[in-house]
Structure 1
Amino acid sequence: MALDPETLDQLRDMIRRYVRERLVPMEAQVAEEDAIPDEVVQEMRDLGLFGLTIPEEYGGIGLNMSEEVQIAFELGYTSAAFRSLIGTNNGIGSQGIIIDGTEEQKQKYLPRLATGELIASFALTEPEAGSDAGSLKTTARKDGDYYVIRGTKRFITNGPRAGLFTVFARTDLSSTNAAGVSAFLVEAGTPGLSLGAIDKKMGQKGSYTCDVIFDDVRVHKDQIIGGVEGQGFKTAMKILDRGRLHISAICVGSAERIIHEALTYAIDRKQFGKPIAEQQLVQAMLADSQAEAYAARCMVEETARRRDAGQNVSQEAACAKMFASEMVGRVADRGVQIHGGAGYMQEYAVERFYRDVRLFRIYEGTTQIQQLVIARNMIKQAKAGM
């Protein structure tokens, strides 16, 4: 569904005010305590932020891709932990159900995901399977009307909070590639499901990841997404196209925040008798950052428009994810440099953003995976045209 322009503007303005007036002032506290306060979680529920992309008929707002990226630009302006909290419900944790789930699965889970009553998590990565998702070791052995899942998932975002896991496991035990992988909906509390310790990460404090361990977890066949075996990898790829665009938009929002912090500091900070913003080499860093952020914004908006028009945007989404995540790393580096010694101090936001944005080049597909996706698409298209 597409909102009318006035309604979208109202939603974007509301989220912008909430981000800048409520969340930005709380960033240091969240980083220090490694926790988002419970009252903020409830505020985000009350504002409908857990159901931004879930269809209206299931209690969400039903944003299309173009609308979603506009909201993601705003959410990227603050600490990544806030976005991460709601991100799985709006993205990889719900989209499998929305895209490929049965009507019964949608009715059962989407309304609770939309309100934030239930937190969703996407359990794909394993100790020996990340970028090579087709080499999953987690198995789901059929036992009558049930499947018995055994294996370990690693670095699972919102795992410690999750009430529902989308779990990818090998149902064809003789297969050695993605064709034998299925996607299951597994509820927290199911016997045999346990969690590892919360990971201690370089950045993104307040956003939790952990191992999720499946020790002979029994789930009914009705919990396979779409009710069909062997479709899990295809479902994952459909989800990741949208997820990569969302992360690209978050990178743009983060870059714009870093540029704001660097520009403000450069105007206020004086060296050699004048603000450093008047020094040409500082201006060059500001200008490069602004141009790159603008380029990434344009890529994201155009790719979102194409996706909403029904085009296959796997290559374009990979381009946007690769460029935007690498771009925000360069912008963060320049932001620290413009701050000088102050940029290395935790009292300045750029120090935290420098650490936080590093992860964007890794999850939802590393830069190197994006390069492979892009190049292989190029080769495929060239051969088709010969």
Structure 2
Amino acid sequence: MTPEDRFPGPELPDSGPRHQPDLDVLPYGSYYEPEPEPGFEPEAGYGYTTTSGYGGARFLEAHWPTASQQAHPGEPVHPQAPAAEDPPTIELGPPLDKFGKPIEELNFPYPQPEPGEAPGPLYVVGDVHGYLDELLAALHQQGLIDAEGHWAAGRSRVWFLGDFTDRGPDGIGVIDLVMQLAAEAAAAGGYCRALMGNHELLFLGAAKYGDEPVQSTAGTASFLAAWRLNGGQQQDLERLQTHHISWLSRLPALALEDGHLLLHSDTTAYLEYGESITEVNDAVHHLLTEEGADEWWDCFRRFTKRFAFRGDAGPQAVHELLGAYGGQRVVHGHSPIPYLTGSTHLDDGTPPHVPGPYIYADELAIAMDGGVTMEGRLLVARLPLN
């Protein structure tokens, strides 16, 4: 029996042809990829391979249940220990209408939670990159939305790990859906929240600064040029509205849920912005509202770094983040699992093999970017409660 037999994913809709993407790149072809560890020899035909020397990496199949195996998302969950209070993050605020004004009244047929009730189950969603149909299919397969695309998960908690736009056909549609689900989940006594990804920084920068020159380590560049180079879709920029900008600009960079440190990028660059989750989120928010193009670009550059948790030094890098911000394990997107495992498209065009989330770095890190842009998989996973 194959992993797909035990842990089937939804049938992916046809959103058009997938183009084999590069990793995120700055102008002039400067990749943010660390040098291989001394003595490391990649397997022939692959960029990197998966071995016990790479932190004992494996797919997180034990926590990737089929729809029949998982509890209904609306059912109460009773953790073994009392749940901690929600971590300090930048709140997403009330839902907004198409003119950017708060919606005062909501009418959703869900009961509010009773005081003292245990928190609902926790889900995370990997990089979407504009693939709206695939997102709808994955959320529906997990029971988080109904057939009409509305919240159906009761008091569940959902975190998107960032990168809503670029490369895929409908980034604005993805943002609209997440904003809608945030409102509907709140009315149901759950929540749907999202993190700031490096593509959010890039997309907002392209909208704000356009072709204005910024000082890059690769020379003079611009947000618009870098955005186009990294799969920016012109229709997304044309459809971007004020309420989208307001919502995206307030997304937090870090969150802590049930002992899981949630972040977009597999990098330790977050440590350069603060010694606590609150400090990092406040610093990024201040940068987006008060600082200039060069500072914004530097933030994008830092959060585009990747692969900090691979190799012999990977577990130590995870411990640095956990020591500063708390938690027992990091959960991230950003670096596609096929790149982490060396299972990108083979010479015969075979799509990458992604049976589920990927756990590595001495089981301290979980990767959630299933490589949907490269015919992989858009991952939605329920995390175990402490």
Q: TM-score range by the shorter chain?
A: under 0.3
TM normalised by structure 1 equals: 0.23
Higher helix proportion, which one? 1
